[in-house]
C-alpha cells in the first residue's frame, strides 16, 4: 500500500519536531499548526508549511478541533498526527478526521472511547482477565459518597480523573481530613484539562512500581508488545526518568504483563502505538501475581525513545505505516531486547524553589554528542520558554550495553548540558542518575520524595565560586566600557584616582562590589594583587579568591552574567541602588505570584482571619496547579487580582495584615 503523501501535525514542541523528522525520511509533506506564542518555534521552522490557529492559550488554539480540521482541508493534508497531549486521546478528533476523509494517525475512535474513561476501561480489561487495582470505579460522584468509599478502601488512596492521564487530576490522600480539598482540586484540574470532572478512588499500592507495556497493532488483527518501560521515578505523579527494560523484571512477569497488554489491545480493536500501564507491588520484588492494570494511553508516549533504543524500531514510522494500511513487518518472536536505555526529562523548573516553573529567554542551549546519546528537543538558543505550555526543554536519552553504562552516559550528558536563562532540573536529574538506591534497583514511585534533600531539592547555599566568576566577568565588562569611554575623551594624562582598580595607599587593595545573585542582594570584594600590578580577582564568602577553580560555562546577557557550574545556574547582576520598585516597597505582607500563570481560584476575602499554612489561592502555570498558603497568622487586607486573570511573576495577589 502507498505511504501517506502528507501529514498535519496537531501538536507542538519536541514531539512535533520528532514527527517531522520521520515524515521527511518517508518523503511526506509536513504541515504545522501553531499558536501566536509559537510563531518562531523550531517545529514551525522545520515544517514545509505552517499555519496560525489562534492565541497562546491551548484552549484557544491547539485544542480547537474545527480550526485544525479547516487547515487540514485547506492544505490537502492526507493525514493528521496528534502527537501526545492536547487532542491525541479525544475520540471526537479522530471522528472529525474520518468525517472529512483525513487519516487519523492513531487508533480508531472506538478504541479511544473504550480506553479513554478509566472506569469503563477497568471493567473492560477485567472481563479479559486482567487484574485491576481495588477501588471505586462507578459513576456516582457525590463528595460524601466518595469520602465514604475512600474510608472503606482504606487510606492512603488515590483520587484519579476518569478521563485523561499524565498525572493531571490525580491526588494521593493520606488521611480523611485531607480528602475534601484533594477531591475538589482533582475535579477542578480534570475539568480544566479534559472537560470532565469525574473521578475514581483507588487503593494506593505500597512500594509501587509503575511499569508500562508498549503495544503495537496493525489494521489486520496483528498485535505485539515491544517489552516494558519502568516509569517509577516520579514527582507529583509526573514521570521524571524512564528506562527500558525494567530493573528486576523476570521472564515470567514480562510474559504475563505482555500477554495482558496484548489482550487489552485486542479487546478494543486497537490499531497503532499504545501503552498499557500497570502498577506493581514491589515490596518483595517484581512478581507475576502482583501487578494491576491502571489505564491505557491510546497514543504515543513521551518516553517512547527508550523503547526505540532497545528494539531498533522507529515507532513514528510504524505509526505512519499502520495508518497507511500496511501489515506489521514482524511477529512477537522476531523482537528482542538490545541493552538498556534511560531517558531524563529536562524541564524549565527550579528544584531549589519546589520545582516552580521557570520562564524566559534561552540565552544559551547546548547539548552533548557522543556514543549512545540522543537529544529530542523543540527549542533552540534564543527561544522563549513561555508559561502557556509544558515546561519541557528536552528529553536526554542514553543507551548502553548495560544499565550501569546507560546511567553513566546519561549522568555525563546531563553534566555537559548547558542551559542559561530559565532555571532547569539538570543538576537534580544528574544526582538522581547517581543515587545509590536507584542505581541498586531499590526504588519505587516514592523514591524522589524520600530523598529530596540528597537530590539537592530545596534552598541551597549560594555557589560562591560561581558568584566570584560572575562578578569578575561583570567587572571586566565595566572596565572595558570605561576604557572605551575614556578613549573618546581628550588626551589628558591618566591618574590613579580615575582608574577603576580600587587604588589605595596602604594595605591590600580592594573595593566593595554590590551584586544581585539570583535576585538577592549580596556583597563581594574585588581584591588586587600586590605582586602583579593591575591583576585582580573577586572574593565572596569563604572562597579562596586566588584558587584555580573552573566553571562549565559563562554566558553574557545584557542584564547580567549566567554562570553554569555542576549543572547549576547562577545569575550574577550589578546592584543598582536607584533601581527600586517604590510602588511596592511596603509590601512585606503581600502574597505574590511565584511564576507567570493564571489565577484560577481565591479562597479568601478581605477581612478574613487566616492561619499559617491555610490555602489562599491557586495559580496554574505550565499545566500544573500551585497552591499559595498563608506565611503566618494574619488578616486579609486586600485581594489584588481577580480569578481568571493572567498574572506575572512577582505580581501582588493578596495583601495580608499581620496580627500583632
Point out the residues that are catalytic.
Answer: 299
Instruction: Give the β-pairing of 29-35 and 49-54.
Output: parallel
Question: CA neighbours within 13 Å on the CB side: how many for 145?
Answer: 9
CA distance 235 to 297: 19
Tell me the three cell numbers of residue 38: 509559537
* Residue in 364, 358, 359 with CA at minimum distance from that of residue 555: 364
CA distance 244 to 247: 8
Question: CA neighbours within 13 Å on the CB side: how many for 366?
Answer: 13
Residue with cell 527500558: 244
Residue with cell 491526588: 171
Residue with cell 565572596: 540
Contact 79, 7 (CB under 8 A): yes
For residue 648, whether the previous peptide bond is cis, meaning omega lies within 30 degrees of 0, is no
Kind plus residue range of the DSSP H or E element containing 395: strand 392-400
* Residue in 498, 504, 531, 526 with CA at minimum distance from that of residue 513: 526
Helix spans in 174-219 (H): 179-194
Angle at 203 between CA 197 and CA 208, to 5 degrees: 110
CA distance 426 to 348: 9
Helix spans in 195-314 (H): 251-267, 304-311
Q: How many CB atoms lie within 10 A of CB 238?
A: 17
In sign, the C-alpha dihedral spanning 328, 332, 335, 337 is positive
Contact 571, 515 (CB under 8 A): no
The helix/strand/coil state of 403 is helix
Output DSSP code: residue 58.
Answer: G
Helix spans in 100-230 (H): 109-116, 118-127, 143-153, 179-194
* Residue in 522, 529, 482, 521 with CA at minimum distance from that of residue 502: 529
Output DSSP code: residue 242.
Answer: E
Tell me the three cell numbers of residue 195: 472537560
Contact 414, 426 (CB under 8 A): yes
* Residue in 246, 368, 264 with CA at minimum distance from that of residue 307: 246
Amino acid at each position: 500500500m502507498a505511504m501517506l503523501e502528507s501529514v498535519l501535525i496537531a501538536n507542538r514542541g519536541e514531539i512535533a519536531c520528532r514527527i517531522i523528522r520521520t515524515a521527511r525520511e518517508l518523503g511526506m509533506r509536513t504541515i504545522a499548526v501553531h499558536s501566536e506564542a509559537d510563531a518562531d518555534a523550531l517545529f514551525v521552522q522545520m515544517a514545509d508549511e505552517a499555519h496560525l490557529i489562534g492565541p497562546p492559550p491551548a484552549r484557544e488554539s491547539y485544542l480547537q478541533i474545527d480550526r485544525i480540521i479547516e487547515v487540514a482541508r485547506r492544505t490537502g493534508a492526507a493525514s493528521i498526527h496528534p502527537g501526545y497531549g492536547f487532542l491525541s486521546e479525544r475520540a471526537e478528533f479522530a471522528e472529525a478526521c474520518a468525517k472529512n476523509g483525513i487519516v487519523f494517525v492513531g487508533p480508531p475512535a472506538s478504541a479511544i472511547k473504550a480506553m479513554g474513561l478509566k472506569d469503563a476501561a477497568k471493567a473492560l480489561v477485567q472481563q479479559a482477565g486482567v487484574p485491576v487495582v481495588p477501588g471505586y470505579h462507578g459513576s456516582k460522584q457525590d463528595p460524601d459518597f466518595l469520602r465514604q468509599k475512600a474510608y472503606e478502601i482504606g487510606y492512603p488512596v488515590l483520587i484519579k480523573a476518569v478521563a485523561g492521564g499524565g498525572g493531571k487530576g490525580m491526588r494521593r490522600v493520606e488521611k480523611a481530613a485531607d480528602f475534601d480539598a484533594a477531591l475538589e482540586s482533582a475535579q477542578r484540574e480534570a475539568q480544566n484539562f479534559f472537560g470532565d470532572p469525574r473521578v475514581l478512588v483507588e487503593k494506593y499500592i505500597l512500594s509501587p512500581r509503575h511499569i508500562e507495556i508498549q503495544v503495537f497493532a496493525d489494521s489486520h488483527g496483528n498485535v505485539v508488545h515491544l517489552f516494558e518501560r519502568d516509569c517509577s521515578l516520579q514527582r507529583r505523579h509526573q514521570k521524571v526518568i524512564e528506562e527500558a527494560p525494567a530493573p528486576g523484571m523476570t521472564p515470567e512477569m514480562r510474559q504475563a504483563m505482555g500477554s495482558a497488554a496484548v489482550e487489552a489491545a485486542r479487546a478494543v480493536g486497537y490499531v497503532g502505538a499504545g501503552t498499557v500501564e500497570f502498577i506493581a507491588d514491589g515490596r518483595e520484588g517484581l512478581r507475576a501475581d502482583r501487578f494491576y492494570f491502571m489505564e491505557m494511553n491510546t497514543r504515543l508516549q513521551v518516553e517512547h525513545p527508550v523503547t526505540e533504543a532497545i528494539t531498533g524500531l522507529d515507532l513514528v514510522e510504524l505509526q505512519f505505516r499502520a495508518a497507511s494500511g500496511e501489515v506489521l513487518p514482524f511477529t512477537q518472536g522476531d523482537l528482542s531486547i538490545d541493552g538498556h536505555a534511560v531517558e531524563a526529562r529536562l524541564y524549565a523548573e527550579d528544584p531549589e524553589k519546589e520545582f516552580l516553573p521557570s520562564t524566559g529567554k534561552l540565552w544559551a542551549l547546548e547539548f552533548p554528542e557522543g556514543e549512545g546519546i540522543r537529544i529530542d528537543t523543540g527549542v533552540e538558543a534564543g527561544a522563549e520558554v513561555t508559561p502557556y505550555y509544558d515546561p519541557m526543554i528536552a528529553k536526554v536519552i542514553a543507551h548502553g550495553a548495560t544499565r550501569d553504562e546507560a546511567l553513566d552516559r546519561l549522568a555525563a550528558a546531563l553534566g555537559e548540558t548547558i542551559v542559561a536563562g530559565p532555571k532547569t532540573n539538570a543538576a537534580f536529574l544528574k544526582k538522581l542518575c547517581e543515587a545509590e538506591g536507584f542505581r541498586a534497583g531499590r526504588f519505587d514511585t516514592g523514591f524522589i520524595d524520600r530523598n529530596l534533600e540528597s537530590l539537592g531539592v530545596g534552598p541551597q547555599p549560594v555557589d560562591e565560586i560561581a558568584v566570584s566568576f560572575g562578578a569578575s566577568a561583570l567587572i571586566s565588562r565595566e572596565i572595558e566600557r570605561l576604557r572605551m569611554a575614556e578613549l573618546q575623551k581628550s588626551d589628558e594624562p591618566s591618574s590613579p584616582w580615575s582608574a577603576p582598580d580600587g587604588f589605595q595607599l596602604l594595605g591590600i587593595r580592594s573595593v566593595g562590589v554590590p551584586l544581585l545573585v539570583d535576585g538577592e542582594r549580596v556583597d563581594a570584594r574585588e581584591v588586587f594583587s600586590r605582586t602583579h600590578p593591575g591583576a585582580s580577582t573577586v572574593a565572596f564568602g569563604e572562597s579562596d579568591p586566588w584558587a584555580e577553580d573552573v566553571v562549565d560555562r559563562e554566558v553574557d546577557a545584557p542584564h547580567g552574567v549566567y554562570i553554569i557550574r555542576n549543572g547549576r545556574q547562577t545569575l550574577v547582576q550589578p546592584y543598582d541602588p536607584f533601581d527600586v520598585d517604590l510602588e511596592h516597597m511596603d509590601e512585606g505582607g503581600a502574597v505574590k505570584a511565584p511564576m507567570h500563570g493564571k489565577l484560577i481560584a481565591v479562597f479568601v476575602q478581605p477581612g478574613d482571619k487566616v492561619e499559617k499554612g491555610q490555602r489562599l489561592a491557586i495559580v496554574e502555570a505550565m499545566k500544573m496547579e500551585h497552591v499559595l498558603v498563608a506565611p503566618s497568622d494574619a488578616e486579609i487586607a486586600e485581594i489584588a487580582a481577580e480569578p481568571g486573570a493572567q498574572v506575572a511573576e512577582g505580581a501582588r495577589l493578596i495583601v495580608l495584615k499581620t496580627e500583632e
